[in-house]
Homo-oligomer: A and B are copies of this chain.
C-alpha cells in the first residue's frame, strides 16, 4: 500500500480524552475514531489488525475442532425469559422494541441462543461432544465506557460453547479451551495468566479468567512469582490427549483476581507473592446444565435414556485484544506490533519523494516485496523526512526500510528493527532477502 493513497489519518497531538496509552496510540495512529461514547469505527489499519487477531483466533479454534458459525446481534427477549436472565441482567443490556412492539435485545452474550439451536438440532449422544463458536459484535451498555476499545459498548467477541454428555466429559472440553487460549495469547505475543474467577452472570461451578499484566489494568490481581517465568504451551498440542496435567501446571500455583483473593494464602506465599494490575483478555466457564435444563436441551443416551447436556462457554475479546497488545507492547514513540498481527510487515520510507532515482528504487523494492508476498506500506508522501520517521515509529510496523539518495547511490538502504531500535546498512538485495526469508 502506498501511504499517499492510504486512509491513515495520524494525529501529532495526544487526544485529551484518552486516558491510557493504547487508546491514545490507536487514535494517534489513525486506527480508530470514536463514533459515540464507547463505540468506535475501525479505520483501514485498525481493521487490518483486528482481522489479523481474528484470524489467529479462527486458526486456533479450528485446530482444536471448534466449528465456526454466526449468530445474529439482535435476539428475542422471550428466549432470555426462558433462562431467567432477562430480568436478572441489569441496565447493561440494550433493550429494544421492534416496529411491532416485540421485546428484543442486542446480545451481550449467546448462551441462550446457542442452547436453543443445539436443542432443536441434536438428538443423540452420538452427536457429542460438539464445540461451536462465533465471532460477532456484542453490546453492553456500560454506564461509563472508557479506555477506548478496552471497555467499549459495542465490541467484537469470540464466544464458544461446548456440549457434552455429562460433567466429566464437559471437563475435557473445558481443558481444551483452557490450553487453546494459552496458545492464542502466545501467538499474539502476550503472557496471559489463568486465574480462578467468579462466574458472575454466566453462572457455573468452574471458571478461569486470563489476565495479562499491565500498569493500566482495571483490576488488581495477585499471583505466585513463578507465573512470570513459567514456560509457555508449545506449538503442537494434541487435543485428543489428556490435557489435565497441562491445565494442572497452570493452575497449581496461587493466582487470583480482585474478588477471588485470599489473604491467608497470600500471607503464606511471602516473597513469592506478586500483586499487579491486570487486563482480562479471556474468560471461560463450565456451567453444566444451567441453560440446557431450563431450555430443555437433551439427547438420548447410549443406554436408551435421556441426558440434559453439560455445557460451557468460552470468551475472548477480539477488539479488546487490539488494545491489550498495545498496552503490552509500545514505547514512547508509538506502537510495537508483534509480527503475527502487524498490519504490514515492512514500512518503506522514501526519504526524498520526487527525486527520480529515489522514487524508482523505492518502487522497485516495493514491487519486489509485494511479489514475494510481503505486506509493505510505502511512505511516498511529499513531506519532510522527520514526519515520515515519526509516523512510521508511531504505527509500529516491525521492520523499516529507509531509502535515501545518499545510500541508494551505492545501492544501500537502512534496515531498522522497530522493537529493538537496531539499524543496519545493507544492500537492497540483502534487505530484500532478509524480509522475504
Docked Cα-Cα span, A186 to B184, in Å, equals 38
Docked Cα-Cα span, A48 to B70, in Å, equals 10
- Give a binary string over A62-86; 1 marks a CB under 8 Å from any B CB, 0 the rest: 0001011111111110000000000
Q: In chain A, residues 44-60, which have Cβ atoms closer than 8 Å to a Cβ of chain B? A: 44, 46-48, 50
Given A7-B130, A35-B113, A67-B6: A72 and B122 within 8 A (CB)? no
Q: Does A74 contact B139, Cβ atoms closer than 8 Å?
A: yes
- Asked whether A91 is an interface residue with its Cβ less than 8 Å from the other chain, the reply is yes
- Asked whether A132 is an interface residue with its Cβ less than 8 Å from the other chain, the reply is yes
Q: In chain A, residues 74-133, which have Cβ atoms closer than 8 Å to a Cβ of chain B? A: 74-76, 91-92, 94, 96, 98-99, 102, 104, 106, 113, 117, 120-122, 126, 130, 132
Across the interface, A113 reaches (CB within 8 A) one of B41, B91, B121, B122, namely B41
Q: Does B75 contact A9, Cβ atoms closer than 8 Å?
A: no
User: B residues within 8 A CB of A35?
Assistant: 71-72, 75-76, 113
Q: Does B69 contact A47, Cβ atoms closer than 8 Å?
A: yes
Q: What copy number does this chain have within its complex?
A: 2
Given A47-B68, A121-B9: A154 and B33 within 8 A (CB)? no
- Asked whether A137 is an interface residue with its Cβ less than 8 Å from the other chain, the reply is yes
Number of interface residues of A (CB under 8 A): 54
Q: Does B43 contact A99, Cβ atoms closer than 8 Å?
A: no
Q: Does B99 contact A96, Cβ atoms closer than 8 Å?
A: no
Given A41-B117, A139-B74: A36 and B104 within 8 A (CB)? yes
- Asked whether A434 is an interface residue with its Cβ less than 8 Å from the other chain, the reply is no
Q: Give, as a whole number of angstroms, the nearest-CB distance from A94 to chain B.
A: 7
Q: Does B94 contact A70, Cβ atoms closer than 8 Å?
A: no
User: B residues within 8 A CB of A41?
Assistant: 69-72, 113, 117
Q: Give, as a whole number of angstroms, the nearest-CB distance from A124 to chain B.
A: 11
Across the interface, A72 reaches (CB within 8 A) one of B9, B40, B68, namely B40
Binding site for B on A (CB under 8 A): 4-7, 9, 30, 33, 35-36, 39-44, 46-48, 50, 65, 67-76, 91-92, 94, 96, 98-99, 102, 104, 106, 113, 117, 120-122, 126, 130, 132, 134, 137, 139, 141, 143, 153-154
